[in-house]
Structure formats: C-alpha cells, structure tokens
Amino acid sequence: MTKTGFSATCTCGEVALTASGAPILSAVCYCESCRKAGRHFEQAPGAPSVVNADSGVEYCLFRKDRVKVARGGQHLQEHRLTAASPTRRIVATCCNAPMFVDFTKGHWLTLYRDRLPADAPPVELGVMGKDLPAGATPAKDIPTYSTFSPMAIVRLLAAWAAMGFRRPKTTW
C-alpha cells in the first residue's frame, strides 16, 4: 500500500504543510535551476543540505489543491532565480529550509522531499539528466531521463484531468 497523506515540516518545526493523497510523482531533478537555487539556499545560516552528492535535488509532486499551509505561513518567503521567472521556490525563513517549488502556471506543487517524513515515497526516476555536470553520474539505480519522462507527463496530465483542468493558486 502506498502511504497517502503527509506532513511536511521545516527543520525547526515552525512551518508545517499538509499534503493529502499520494504524490503524483517522486523524482530527482538534475536541472541547472534546481541546483543553482539549492546551492543558494544551502548558504543561509542553519540551512539543511539541499543538493545531493550526485547534483540532484529530490522532490515529491502533489496536486496543488491537496497541499495546505497548516502553520507558520508568516515565515514563508518566496525566491525567484529571475524576477520574471514563473517558478518560485518557497523557503521557511525560521530555519532556512526550502519547502516547495511553485511553478505558478502549473497545477502541481513540488515539495522538497527532505521535508517529508522518513517514510516518504522513494524517488522513482530522474529528470533533466542533460543538465548533469560533466563527470557526474546519477547515484541511484533508477531510470534517468534527459529531459522529462513520458510517465511523468502522463501522470501530470491525469492529475490535471482529475482536477477538472483547474490551476489553483497557492496562497497562505
């Protein structure tokens, strides 16, 4: 049985999100942006490590309508790599733990897997392998795709259909 329903907390516990249902997908991303943002977050005082030794960042993707900020919303701050970017990464400023990635044009929310409990679903595949730095190889024995995996796209579309093709906004 796949576990459904998770609480995602920052390192100090001030901020908690609830994510209901099973993740749409659990994946490790090797893209340049995830790594760049991750390295940036890691430099903040007390921040947890974000980027794996193999240069990937692990995530669990949930439907946007199934993730709520349960407490500590006042600590959340958004970070965009460029002002015009549609992607914002949300950090808990109480302990500098990154919480989730919001592609504002999308219907899914990408939670940093490290914020989920130890029994969070394991990553199933790697995406954006084309951005792996020279000499780096994926550490886990799972399929790694150059860009996105067809299965990931199918699951995202299925989730969107189940949501009635809505794109809820994430607010707190």
Binding residues vs Zn ion (CB under 5 A): 10, 12, 14, 29, 31, 34, 92, 94-95
Listed residue (107, 99, 123) closest to 157, CA to CA: 107
Q: How far is the CB of 59 from Zn ion (least distance, A)?
A: 8
Cβ atoms < 10 Å from Cβ of 7: 12
**Identity of the residue, 33 or 170, whose beta carbon is nearer to Zn ion in the bound complex:** 33
SS3 for 98? strand
**Identity of the residue, 19 or 99, whose beta carbon is nearer to Zn ion in the bound complex:** 99
Q: Which two tokens stand for residue 144?
A: 């790694």
Q: How far is the CB of 107 from Zn ion (least distance, A)?
A: 17
Q: How far is the CB of 1 from Zn ion (least distance, A)?
A: 29
Please name the amino acid found at residue 4. Answer: T
Q: How far is the CB of 19 from Zn ion (least distance, A)?
A: 17
**Identity of the residue, 19 or 34, whose beta carbon is nearer to Zn ion in the bound complex:** 34
**Identity of the residue, 14 or 42, whose beta carbon is nearer to Zn ion in the bound complex:** 14
**Identity of the residue, 12 or 163, whose beta carbon is nearer to Zn ion in the bound complex:** 12
Q: How far is the CB of 37 from Zn ion (least distance, A)?
A: 8
Listed residue (12, 19, 57) closest to 170, CA to CA: 19
SS3 for 155? helix
Do 62 and 161 form a contact (C-beta atoms < 8 A)?
Answer: no
Angle at the Cα of 103 from the Cα atoms of 166 and 110, rounded to 5 degrees: 95
- Exposure string of 124-137, with b = 16+ CB inside 10 Å and e = fewer, is bbbbbbebbeeeee
